[in-house]
């Protein structure tokens, strides 16, 4: 049997929050390990360009992720990626992880940063045009559509608020929604309805994305009549919800009804010595900068826990 390795801190996930926690923990001379199941960088690597990270010129998402990874490693953080965590035991004073290949790791503190993912529409062309006309974040990518016409998919608060924000850049924003009414708050609906740059296509759903290298048009179905139409567009922003990557943590730490990890202001979970950060926790805004802040707070809280 492989010998179990024991660390001061184990971080689950290597997105912006996890890598930041790795930088802070290892720089504090705590033996630190990041266990990562997906791509290093998380949602950052799916972003074509990041233009609103303070102090950094516009940069490819994967490049910013790689810089964070190298910083963490320079301070001594170990990163193991491309793995699957088979089981978690987080309730004792020492926390245990078992991987699917039989390797075991333990630590005295844990920071959970599994991240999350935008809910996809799951229609033809979506995967091909992600970052090439399809976006899930107006704050991140709105500026790249200056002077262009875009489509926003969704009918909740995020969809309508982001549609209004996009009018600062785009010449025309068309909201496509599957129902004949919005789920957003009345204020958000009124703000969108009174904006002259916004138009609405109700009771409709997108059916495919098409283009030559970049997105150029969408097909949509008018649900009551089943009529299929084609619409040219420069971009589509999808706000169909957000899914935390917490499926494996259900029943282990406290989650809310949306399966987000519940924490206090110090990012402590309901388990002693277990902290959480990033897109997986209960929060309103999900940006690289907010994830970095979370990772900082969680690592400092973990260090304080270990000292005590």
Q: What is the pLDDT of residues 46-92, one digit of tens each?
A: 676 787 899 988 888 889 999 999 999 999 999 999 999 999 999 99
* In the chain, domain spans: 5-117+242-307, 120-238
| CATH for the 5-117+242-307 domain, from 3.50.50.60, 3.10.20.600, 3.10.310.10, 3.40.50.720 | 3.50.50.60
Cβ-count burial of 49 within 10 angstroms (0-12 exposed, 13-18 middle, 19+ buried)? Answer: middle
**209 conformational bin, left if phi > 0, alpha if psi -120 to 50, beta if neither:** beta
For residue 229, list its beta bridge partners: 220
Mean pLDDT of 23-44: 94
3-state per-residue secondary structure call for the chain: CCCCEEEEEEEECCCHHHHHHHHHHHHCCCCEEEEECCCCCHHHHHCCCECCCCCCCCECHHHHHHHHHHHHHHCCCEEEECCCEEEEECCCCCEEEEECCCCEEEEEEEEECCCEEECCCCCCCHHHHECCCEECCHHHHHHHHCCCEEEEECCCHHHHHHHHHHCCCCCEEEEECCCCCCCCCHHHHHHHHCCCCEEEECCEEEEEEEEECEEEEEEEEECCCCEEEEEECCEEEECCCEEECCHHHECCECECCCCCECCCCCCECCCCCEEECHHHECCCCCCHHHHHHHHHHHHHHHHHHHHC
Torsion angle defined by CA atoms of residues 11, 17, 23 and 29, in that order, rounded to the nearest 10 degrees = -40
Q: Which residues contact 305 (CB under 8 A, 6 or more apart)?
A: 109, 272, 273, 275
**Which are the contacts of 181, defined by CB distance < 8 A and separation ≥ 6?**
155
How many other CB atoms are found less than 10 A from the CB of residue 252? 19
Residue with tokens 């009124």: 190
Q: Is the pLDDT of residue 184 over 90?
A: no
pLDDT in tens, 203-236: 999 999 999 999 999 999 999 999 999 999 999 9
- Which one, of 261, 241, 232, 289, lies nearest residue 17 by Cα? 289
In the CATH scheme, what is the code of domain 120-238? 3.50.50.60
> pLDDT category, 3, cuts 50, 70, 90?
low
Q: What are phi and psi of 129, to 5 degrees?
A: -105, 10
Q: Is 139's pLDDT higher than 90?
A: no
Q: What is the model's pLDDT at position 250?
A: 95
Residue 287: pLDDT band (50, 70, 90) is: confident
Domains 5-117+242-307 and 120-238 share a fold: yes
Does the structure show a pLDDT above 70 at 1? no
Burial of 153 (0-12, 13-18, 19+ CB in 10 A): buried
Q: What pLDDT, in 10s, does the model give residues 263-284?
A: 999 999 999 999 999 999 999 8
pLDDT band with cut points at 50, 70 and 90 for residue 38: confident
How far apart CA 39 and CA 271 sit, in angstroms, is 27
Average pLDDT of the chain is 93
Residues 45 and 72: their CA atoms lie apart, in Å, by: 17
Share of the chain above pLDDT 90, in %: 81
* β-bridge mates for residue 87, sequence order: 98
> pTM of this prediction?
0.78
* 291 pLDDT higher than 90: yes
- Residue 110 burial class via C-beta count within 10 angstroms: exposed 0-12, middle 13-18, buried 19 and up: buried
């Amino acid at each position: 049997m492989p010998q179990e390795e024991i660390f001061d801190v184990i971080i689950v996930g290597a997105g912006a929050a996890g890598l930041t926690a790795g930088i802070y923990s290892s720089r504090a001379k705590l033996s630190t390990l990041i266990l990562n199941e997906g791509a290093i960088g998380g949602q950052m690597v799916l972003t074509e360009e990041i233009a609103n990270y303070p102090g950094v010129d516009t940069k490819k998402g994967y490049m910013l992720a790689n810089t964070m990874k190298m910083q963490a490693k320079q301070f001594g953080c170990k990163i193991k990626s491309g793995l699957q965590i088979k089981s978690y035991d987080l309730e004792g004073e020492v926390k245990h992880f078992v991987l699917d290949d039989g390797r075991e790791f333990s630590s005295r503190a844990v920071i959970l940063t599994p991240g999350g993912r935008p809910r996809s529409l799951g229609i033809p062309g979506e995967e091909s045009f992600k970052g090439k006309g399809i976006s899930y974040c107006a704050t991140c990518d709105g500026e790249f559509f200056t002077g262009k016409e875009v489509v926003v998919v969704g009918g909740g608060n995020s969809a309508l608020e982001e549609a209004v924000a996009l009018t600062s850049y785009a010449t025309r924003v068309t909201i496509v929604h599957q129902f004949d009414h919005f789920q957003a708050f009345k204020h958000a609906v009124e703000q969108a309805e009174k904006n002259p740059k916004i138009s609405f296509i109700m009771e409709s759903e997108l059916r495919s994305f098409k283009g030559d290298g970049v997105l150029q048009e969408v097909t949509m179905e008018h649900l009551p009549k089943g009529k299929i139409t084609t619409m040219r567009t420069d971009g589509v922003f999808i706000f169909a919800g957000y899914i935390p990557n917490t499926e494996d943590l259900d029943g282990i730490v406290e989650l809310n009804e949306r399966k987000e990890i519940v924490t206090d202001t110090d990012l402590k979970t309901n388990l002693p010595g277990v902290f959480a950060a990033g897109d997986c926790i209960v929060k309103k805004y999900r940006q690289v900068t907010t994830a970095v802040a979370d990772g900082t707070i969680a690592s400092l809280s973990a260090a304080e826990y270990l000292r005590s």
